[in-house]
Structure 1
Amino acid sequence: LVLAAWRLWLRETRGVPPVSGIEHPALRLLARLTHLVIYALIFIVPLSGAAAWFLQVPGAGLVHVLGKNVLLYVVLLHIAGALVQHFVLKSNVLRQMLAFR
């Protein structure tokens, strides 16, 4: 949870790589939704796990497990999207993601 907060702080203070503008609007929308889901789940999963473990909140364990699974698949979608951008669409999105700033 601390790492999730730190990641969100880094995103707010350092910003994100600029969008090239050559992507189809549907791809840009998919990227935004993917990021939104990832950021939501990196907070929801540990909080629901803590609620299930420490507070014995009914249903929190289910939210934790389902959230973990969704997070896994969305991260895989994010990785696949970056690889498609790099190898198929020949954009510089992957290089921008991996650039040290």
Structure 2
Amino acid sequence: MAAPQQGNRRPPPAPTQRDDHGRDRPARSDDALSDSVRRVQRSTRGQVLSAERIPYEGRNLNRIKVVDDSGRVRVYMDDPQQPPPRRGQPPTRGDND
């Protein structure tokens, strides 16, 4: 009896989300950790010490530790399920949308 082949299976397609204009866009997927690291590194101009996914309130958050210019270790938390902030506009408070 032959064993079933595992190599022919495709991973399920990435779920899609709607952007502000109603267009489909792919959800932030497994490369979200590297995206978070890149984003924090560019915004702080510091050296990344570590990056890991941690469970928090039923979802995974990315925790990135960075050494800043003064030698202090800063910890940044990034939620890959949240859409990235829009450029050119200040962030809004959650209660006045």
**Is TM (by shorter chain) over 0.5?**
no
When normalised by structure 2's length, the TM-score is 0.24
Higher helix proportion:
1
Higher strand proportion:
2
When normalised by structure 1's length, the TM-score is 0.23
Q: Which has the higher contact order (CA 8 A, sep 6+)?
A: 1
